[in-house]
Structure 1
């Protein structure tokens, strides 16, 4: 019975009571006290019923408004579900499909109506069904979103790599009553990653670089490392007596950074007029095995140079230290010219003295002696040229 029918019946009762009240007044002499009281109570009850009808009308209007809003919200969520770009499937706790959107029908090459009632596991390739069934059993006892990757296959189609996010719907007792599955075809991404893994990784390629001029200090970030794209960088520290100590000379494709040392004082200075460096975060390196492998090989180059500098500092005579230092520079920064091998970097006598653990005056004297002996010479830009017959 709806509210309007109930209201009409109340109005009919109220009308009959009104007629009875008029008829009763004519015969009220037989019972002068009883009838007025009875009709008064009936009138009060009739008025109460009318008030109740008005309240029901109001509640009914509110319910209709609420119902309309719920239907709008329901349609909105159904549209979001239906037209979602990714396949979305709702199953019961055993994995039987209850609902499937259009993307799921397209992914599995089946109509939506045909998908309903099918176990989701039938779309998993046979070789992975046992593992998928085990995961499905575990999902019944979990209350959080899980992610997994499986190989799936639609009707008459090729298998594809699928990334799945599954979220359980839990009842008041804590049991999973339904499972919601978001399924994405990631075959293209997987193929791309495989191609990347099989090709060489250039850490510098396509990265923005920063430029520093000669003598400029390069800032160091403990959460990243620098790679030299062009030019040369000098790495130094300070000794207890305040003298600068050369730690390394970093050329193209070589890394440096505060995360690669335990020294408290560590400084990087641009050694050539146009130094270009790129920054790579440690987080990115940790997340990419290919990038980490490429960086490791370049760190290994730095390690070999550091060991060479240690061996040079261990030479007892200063002239031997200078000779070995010139050989190291020839090996790493040498360029063939007509007169011999030209060092592409131009170190000051102070730089060489720091690397050889001696004074600038001593280095100046030894270089002059080598020049007089014809073992070295200088070009127009003061770059050292080592005679191949002597070095």
Structure 2
């Protein structure tokens, strides 16, 4: 089959032949005039035949391409109809949560035409008081080959909040970076919503409970009769090694519990890492007496367990450079906020914090972060928050 490049090469060869004939004509018109015209006509005839064949092949390929495009368009329309007719709300967003596609069911659920949903951030349809928890969940969606499922409250345009079951998975490129996210949203029937409200609605957990506020750097008291539940901000959990060095045990975000009853370490400390941290206290007796509350906390504790396993795997890396790389990826997923320049860590971590997490010295971390900054892989904003470049 011939293509445009081959066709261009054939034209180039013909031009060369004509140029040679022209030069031969100028050089030999006086010597061999009787052979010049027959040779030229023969060359031109051959070139004309080759061009005719090439043109016919291009016409044939053009017809085949037109048929293929028509078939592809028919298939696209068919899948678009299937997409629009799905009974559940289906959305496709980019890695930052901006809606790229939405079907009719999504438009009905969010009370907005699908065409108007495009380029809007999905978080705009989450109630204001629950957006912090949603961001925390969203930052965990970039884990490779992991389908996430949870129940969330949605705020349709000019409508009342609804409870919905959300299923999300990510699609990645060859460099293991998320290209887009696929969301299936199913509105829960009314009779199911009260049953799931306790496990999914933070307001139900915090209702009629006093919230305790702590500023950045403050030590949060731990008692065996209380389990703290984060409602705002991030808390750092750490212990001490035999040499007196701090060891990072976890970063606790919204809706995640922590407390002294959840560890057997003799030294265990919780420190407010955000500018403002708000906590709700759940008594151990209340948790034991309420199966639904226990089930809710079990789901959140499983997230803590996964994070702890990741930190343990990081500490097992031989090279400090590897530990720092994997720690940055973990922090990006756990406490990162997507923005234009990359993913900004929602809390400011010191070089000593990185050193404690990587089981190394602050000097080593400073040197490695400097190298990453020179390579353009990280940067710092005006408030010294670290930004991991994509």
TM-score, length of structure 1 as denominator length:
0.49
TM-score, length of structure 2 as denominator length:
0.49
